[in-house]
């Protein structure tokens, strides 16, 4: 049992951009904007884009949210010491993490990244974490890829999701300018509510 | 999965409920389905790592990191504390980011239209990486309270927003700290989403005279506790 009680989560509020993506708040302060770019030319793997919108319970666009992504590299390795899997080391040119605000006008968030590899028994996937005004504790979910049917069918997390809701975690693929784009709309509440994870 | 790497389940009672009508914005944004509980997989016990070389030391000094032609207006303060986990172990080497309103309660944000003035010398954000003992320290100014659309006449107590990375992505936390003695704390709708008074109290930074600099700045202390490690009540999936 824990010795110290956890610090409670609090909403990121409507001005989360100031702290985490200040350029979207309207000013430039840091030389290095963490999470703005996930790739360098040296990063290994298939270039893809993952993007989507967020809808509230009244089907309105959530335009003030911040989304973070965390994922494995093309070989299914995480750039972290707790990844003790055998095999080639993690790609030194890929941290596997990025940040994107939903656009104030269009509500679209998105990441230019690489397609992650399988991680053990899990199908290729990326973790998303969503914070915003009105969200008291950050919401975690996962993006799976619609062109990975066989792997998805074996995925231990997807298999825990009731079949009728699995579609909420699987992003369809389309080509745009030669780049595969996976579309992942998130529904916070109501019909087609996205499955959120307590991890 | 190595048991020693897993995080303990989040203690739901320590956090505000997703749906809390006193905070109107939760009504349409709180999921109505229960969260799907799963034992941490490799995806959750890992998380991004940041190096000192990615930051500039001035990033942690909000009184200087956006100064243009002078000093920001307001009461200079030191804001410091430790990042710990539920087992009371220091969490070293993790990124802590803060953001806040200026002394007048105004955010430097395109969407903030509160009538208080923007301070040309104050950006309102900073970041630092915790040291070997999990300590962080910012120099900033004390923010002002500000009104927000919720109930008829709601004002946020003065507060600092925090974003903290733990050692794994499932420790990720965004929270806020308040200032001991602020009469708005008891009236705040956002703190009011938490039924547990003791939990609210854990968000109140305390005046720390020992760490204050005479004739320069008072210090406020705010420790942050992330989930601990340890056995999980859930079935392993990977
Ligand atoms: Fe605020």
Euclidean distance between CA atoms A162 and A58, whole angstroms: 24
Q: Is A4 within the bounds of a domain?
A: no
Report residue B7 as tokens. 């995080």
Per-residue pLDDT tens over the stretch B76-135 = 999 999 999 999 999 999 999 999 999 999 999 999 999 999 999 999 999 999 999 999
Range of the domain at A92: 16-187
Range scoring the smallest mean pLDDT among B32-46, B114-128, B179-193, B218-232: B218-232
Cα–chain-centroid distance for residue B233? Answer: 28
- Options B107, B136, B162, B178, the catalytic residue: B107
Q: Name every chain A residue with its beta carbon within 8 A of the beta carbon of B96.
A: none
Instruction: Give how far B144 is from chain A: nearest CA, Å.
Output: 15
Task: Look at phi and psi of residue B66 and say left if phi exceeds 0, alpha if psi is from -120 to 50, else beta.
Answer: alpha
Catalytic site includes residue B161: yes
Euclidean distance between CA atoms B73 and B120, whole angstroms: 9
Task: Report residue B192: phi and psi, to 5°.
Answer: -65, -10
Euclidean distance between CA atoms A54 and B79, whole angstroms: 34
Euclidean distance between CA atoms A188 and A137, whole angstroms: 13
Q: Report CA(B101)–ligand 1 centroid distance (Å).
A: 7
Q: Report CA(A138)–ligand 1 centroid distance (Å).
A: 16
Per-residue pLDDT tens over the stretch A80-113 = 999 999 999 999 999 999 999 999 999 999 999 9
Q: Could you tell me which residues are beta bridge partners of residue A174?
A: A181
What is A138-199 written as a DSSP string? PEEEEEEETT-HHHHHH-TTGGGS-GGGGGGGEE-EEEETTEEEEE--EE-SSTTPPP-EE-
> What is the chain A residue with the closest CA to B22?
A134
Percent of chain B topping pLDDT 70: 95
Q: Is the ipTM of this complex over 0.95?
A: yes
The CATH topology of domain B5-233 is Protocatechuate 3,4-Dioxygenase, subunit A (2.60.130)
Give the pLDDT band (50/70/90) at residue B231.
Answer: low
Angle (CA) A12-B185-B224 rounded to 5° is 50
Q: Is A6 within the bounds of a domain?
A: no
- Options B127, B159, B200, B229, the catalytic residue: B159
Which residue pairs, CB below 8 angstroms and at least 24 apart, start in A103-107? Answer: A103/A63, A104/A24, A104/A63, A104/A64, A104/B110, A104/B111, A105/A63, A106/A53, A106/A61, A106/A63, A107/A53, A107/A54, A107/A61, A107/A62, A107/A63
Euclidean distance between CA atoms A125 and A115, whole angstroms: 8
Q: Report CA(B64)–ligand 1 centroid distance (Å).
A: 21
Q: Name every chain B residue with its beta carbon within 8 A of the beta carbon of A121.
A: 238
Find the radius of gyration of the CA atoms of chain B.
19
Chain A / chain B CB contacts < 8 angstroms: 275
Q: Name every chain A residue with its beta carbon within 8 A of the beta carbon of B84.
A: 4
Give the pLDDT band (50/70/90) at residue B6.
Answer: confident
pLDDT average, residue stretch B198-210: 97
Q: Is A76 within the bounds of a domain?
A: yes
CATH number for position A152 = 2.60.130.10
Identify the residue whose tokens are 């990025």: A98
Q: Is residue B2 predicted with pLDDT exceeding 70?
A: no
CB contact under 8 A, B125 and A139: no
Look at residue B13 and give its three-state secondary structure.
helix
Per-residue pLDDT tens over the stretch A16-26 = 999 999 999 99
At residue A1, the pLDDT reads 52
Taking the alpha carbons at both ends of chain B, their separation in whole angstroms is 7
Euclidean distance between CA atoms B195 and B183, whole angstroms: 18
- CB-based contacts of A7, cutoff 8 Å, min separation 6: B14, B173, B175, B202, B203, B223, B224, B225, B226
Catalytic site includes residue B146: yes
Count of structural domains within chain A = 1
- Options B146, B162, B227, B229, the catalytic residue: B146
Cα–chain-centroid distance for residue A128? Answer: 3
- Options B66, B156, B227, B229, the catalytic residue: B156
- List chain A residues with pLDDT less than 70: 1-2
Instruction: Name the DSSP class of B171.
Output: G
At residue B230, the pLDDT reads 74
Q: Name every chain A residue with its beta carbon within 8 A of the beta carbon of B42.
A: 78, 82-83, 85, 119-120, 122
At residue B40, the pLDDT reads 86
Instruction: Give how far A171 is from chain B: nearest CA, Å.
Output: 18
Q: Is residue B168 predicted with pLDDT exceeding 50?
A: yes
Q: Is A193 within the bounds of a domain?
A: no
Give the pLDDT band (50/70/90) at residue B237.
Answer: very low
Domain boundaries, chain B: 5-233
pLDDT average, residue stretch B181-189: 98
Per-residue pLDDT tens over the stretch B44-63 = 999 999 999 999 999 999 99
Euclidean distance between CA atoms B167 and B4, whole angstroms: 13
Euclidean distance between CA atoms A94 and A113, whole angstroms: 9
Euclidean distance between CA atoms B181 and B202, whole angstroms: 14
Nearest one of A162, A164, A169 to A146, comparing CA atoms: A169
Q: Report CA(B126)–ligand 1 centroid distance (Å).
A: 14
């Amino acid at each position: 049992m824990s010795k110290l009680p956890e610090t409670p989560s609090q909403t990121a509020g409507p001005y989360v951009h100031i702290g985490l993506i200040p350029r979207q708040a309207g000013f430039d302060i840091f030389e290095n904007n963490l999470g703005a770019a996930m790739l360098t030319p040296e990063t290994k793997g298939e270039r893809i884009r993952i993007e989507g919108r967020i809808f509230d319970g009244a089907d309105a666009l959530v335009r003030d949210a911040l989304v973070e992504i965390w994922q494995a590299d093309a070989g299914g390795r995480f750039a972290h010491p707790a990844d003790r899997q055998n095999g080639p080391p993690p790609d030194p040119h890929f941290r596997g993490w990025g940040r994107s605000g939903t656009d104030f006008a269009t509500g679209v968030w998105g990441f230019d990244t690489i397609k992650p590899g399988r991680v053990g028994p899990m199908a290729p996937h990326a973790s998303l974490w969503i914070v915003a005004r009105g969200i008291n504790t950050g919401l975690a979910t996962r993006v799976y890829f619609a062109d990975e049917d066989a792997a998805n069918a074996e995925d231990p997390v997807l298999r825990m999701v009731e079949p009728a809701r699995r579609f909420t975690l699987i992003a369809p693929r389309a080509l745009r300018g030669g780049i595969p784009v996976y579309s992942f709309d998130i529904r916070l509440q109501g019909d087609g509510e996205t499955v959120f994870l307590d991890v | 999965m190595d048991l020693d790497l897993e995080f303990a389940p989040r203690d739901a009672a320590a956090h505000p409920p997703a749906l809390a009508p006193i905070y109107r914005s939760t009504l349409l944004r709180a999921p109505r389905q229960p969260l799907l509980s799963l034992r941490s997989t490799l995806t959750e016990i890992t998380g991004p790592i940041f190096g000192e070389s990615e930051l500039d030391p001035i990033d942690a000094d909000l009184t200087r990191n956006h100064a243009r032609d002078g000093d920001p207006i307001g009461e200079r303060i030191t804001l410091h504390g430790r990042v710990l986990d539920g087992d009371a172990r220091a969490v070293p080497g993790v990124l802590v980011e803060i953001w806040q309103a200026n002394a007048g309660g105004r955010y430097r944000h395109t969407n903030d239209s509160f009538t208080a003035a923007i301070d040309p010398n104050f950006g309102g954000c900073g970041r630092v990486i915790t040291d070997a003992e999990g300590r962080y320290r910012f120099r900033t100014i004390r923010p002002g309270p500000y009104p927000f659309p919720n109930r008829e006449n709601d004002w946020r107590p003065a507060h600092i927003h925090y974003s903290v990375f733990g050692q794994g992505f499932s420790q990720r936390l965004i929270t806020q700290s308040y200032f001991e003695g602020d009469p708005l704390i008891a009236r705040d709708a956002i703190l009011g989403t938490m039924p547990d008074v003791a939990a609210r109290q854990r968000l109140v930074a305390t005046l720390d005279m020992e760490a204050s600099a005479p004739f320069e700045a008072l210090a406020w202390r705010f420790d942050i506790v992330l989930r601990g490690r340890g056995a999980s009540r859930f079935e392993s999936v990977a």
